[in-house]
Structure formats: C-alpha cells, structure tokens
Amino acid sequence: MRDLKQLVKAYDVRGVVPDQWDENLSRAFGAAFVQVTGASAIVVGHDMRPSSPSLSRAFADGAAGYGADVVLIGLCSTDQLYYASGSLDLPGAMFTASHNPAEYNGIKLCRAGAAPVGQDTGLSEIRELVESWTADDDTVTVPARDVAPGALSEQDTLRGYADHLLGLVDLTAIRPLKVAVDAGNGMGGHTVPTVFDGLPIDLVPMYFELDGTFPNHEANPLDPKNLVDLQAKVREVGADLGLAFDGDADRCFVVDERGEPVSPSAITALVAAREIARARAAGEAEPTIIHNLITSWTVPEVVQELGGKPVRTRVGHSFIKQEMAVTDAVFGGEHSAHYYFRDFWRADTGMLA
C-alpha cells in the first residue's frame, strides 16, 4: 500500500508519478479537499509538467463530485494561482513539483485569500481522509455524496495577475534596464512576458519554452550550477541584472551586472527597506518584517536600523504566511528566494513586486 505520509509533506503533496500517486489518487485529494474545507467553489491551476493537466483535471473532477464548482485557470505560476485565490476569494490547488525533476509532481493547497494549508491547517486531515478511502491494493474508492455535482468553468487570470503585481509598486521612476531572465523552461516563461509588457525593460529571454522535461538544466536556481548560463548571458549582453526562476516561478534568484549571484538575504533586506519606508509613510510606527531561521543576521539589523520590527520564523511558506497574518507583517523573505507581501495576500511570489 502506498505510504501517504511519504507523499504528503509538511505543507504540500509531492511525489513521483505514477509510482507514488496518479489520477485516481488526485481525484480523491480533490474530494477530500472539498470535504475538509467545506468549499462550495475552488480554483485549480497547473504548471508545464507532462503529468500536470491530467492530474489537475482529476482533482477538479473529484472536487466537483463533492459538490464544488471549479474554476480552471490552466497553465499558471504558483503565485498566479495565489492571485486567483485572493482575487476570487476561493480555496485553490496548484499542481506543481516546483524545482523537483520531471518525474515528480505535487499539489500546493490554500484556503480562500491564499491562506496556507499545511499539516496543522488541514493537510493532515486531507491525508487521513484519503487514507481511509485507499485499500491495501492501492485502489481508491471515493464514497459518493448525495449532492448535485459542481460545474467546471475556465478563466484566464494572467493579465489580472500582472496588473495586480504592477499595482504594488510605483513605476513612475523606473529607468530603462536590460534584464536577462532564465525561466529554466518553467512557468516564468509564461508569466514574465506579460508582467514586463509595457515596462522600459529590454528583456533577454532564456529557456522560455514551456517544457516539463527541463531539457537545458533543472529549474532549481538554489543550485549554483543552474545559474551558470544566466551568469554568462548577463556578461555577454551587458545586462543590468539577471533573474532565474524555479519551475513554478515562485522563487527568483538575482544575478548582478557582473554576473555574480546576489544573496537572497541581501534581496530580503533591500526589499524590506522599501516596504518599511512605504509603511512608515502610511503611518505605521514599526512595520514588521518576517525572516526565517537561516537568513543572514544582516536582515534583522537592517530592519531595526530603519525602524522596523524583525520577527524570525520557521522555514517553509505555510509557517511564514501564518506568522505574517498573526503579526500583520508587511513583507517576508527566505534564504531560498521566496518573498512574501502583505498586499499580495501574504503569498509567496517570485516577482519581487
């Protein structure tokens, strides 16, 4: 029998397809998600992995079978799914295995308003429910519910997502920039052109073709070897900076004009400085900034110097979002290049806003 405790992690579902999970199990996760959250409607999106369309559709069918209407937004980045959850005020499911190899897939779940779903906020209940429906031979039988099935519909959220991101910053003072972007054949190739459209940016695209087999390199910018192509391109074209995204484009690594990687802790401190200034100008006396346990001590030092309040938290997006909600933090950053904005439903976004 499949060990769902290995498949269901602390704050997402992730494993090898079809060895650890498949469409039948995904359908059960959809039904369980609706039962645990009590949702009458949800939104579902997926990345470019070969298994993502069928897994996400099976999940949607399971959710609809338990009475929930399902809004399908198709190909999207993880933060685009969070945008849809926030703007539509619906629980959401994103099918992606982030930076993992092609044979993996997974689900990131959230409640309405992009509120995180982790082990302590519903994910363990979902796992236990699916386990109760799974037989020793790994067949999954989802009990029928005496409800009218939900309706499936499609909606394009990319333009709305881009407009929301652009609305978070003052673009009047932006100067022309040459920016090299390595999407790693992941969802950055889908979102970056629309987000950058109309800005004074000379975009130098790298590996924008959506391909979940990752033919050029792993979409994991945390590994230095996956930044080599971007570093070379920045030096070759004289770019002002380079950006590298992971597979679902909710992490963004920065390379400076010399082709040298910039620590995510340094980026956290820089963005925190801007967010503190904005919040103080709006009347907040001591804006809170979240950083995780393994970011540089530079981050809390900068935050304190600028009149903010630094708060440390555990590693992991669900823990950081939860702490941001408790403290009403304006911004949060991780060593892994996840960045969180209060004005983006406290959800992680690779787009540095």
Angle at which helix 158-166 crosses helix 188-196, to 10 degrees, equals: 60
What CATH code would you report for 169-262?
3.40.120.10
Alpha carbon distance 219, 80 (integer Å): 18
- Give the confidence band of 353 by pLDDT, cuts at 50, 70, 90: low
Least confident residue range of 37-46, 239-248, 293-302: 293-302
Pairing of strands 241-245, 252-255: antiparallel
pLDDT in tens, 129-176: 999 999 998 899 999 999 999 999 999 999 999 999 999 888 988 999
Please pick, among 77, 98, 318, 336, the residue that the annotation labels catalytic: 98
Q: Please say if the pLDDT value at position 230 is more than 80.
A: yes
Q: Please say if the pLDDT value at position 37 is more than 70.
A: yes
Asked whether the domain spanning 264-349 has the same topology as the one spanning 4-157, the reply is: yes
Q: What is the dihedral of CA 144, 141, 29, 84, to 10 degrees?
A: -40
Annotated catalytic residue 153:
no
Alpha carbon distance 139, 336 (integer Å): 37
Domain map (residue ranges) of the chain: 4-157, 169-262, 264-349
Task: Give me the residues paired with residue 349 across strands.
Answer: 339
- Give the confidence band of 320 by pLDDT, cuts at 50, 70, 90: confident
pLDDT in tens, 1-26: 788 999 999 889 999 999 999 999 99
- Give the confidence band of 352 by pLDDT, cuts at 50, 70, 90: low
Which fold, 4-157?
Alpha-D-Glucose-1,6-Bisphosphate; Chain A, domain 3 (3.40.120)
Q: Please say if the pLDDT value at position 318 is more than 80.
A: no
Alpha carbon distance 282, 140 (integer Å): 53
Least confident residue range of 301-310, 314-323, 326-335: 314-323
Predicted local confidence at residue 244, as pLDDT = 98
Whole-model pTM: value is 0.95
Contact 30/62 with Cβ under 8 angstroms? yes
Which fold, 264-349?
Alpha-D-Glucose-1,6-Bisphosphate; Chain A, domain 3 (3.40.120)
Alpha carbon distance 158, 190 (integer Å): 9
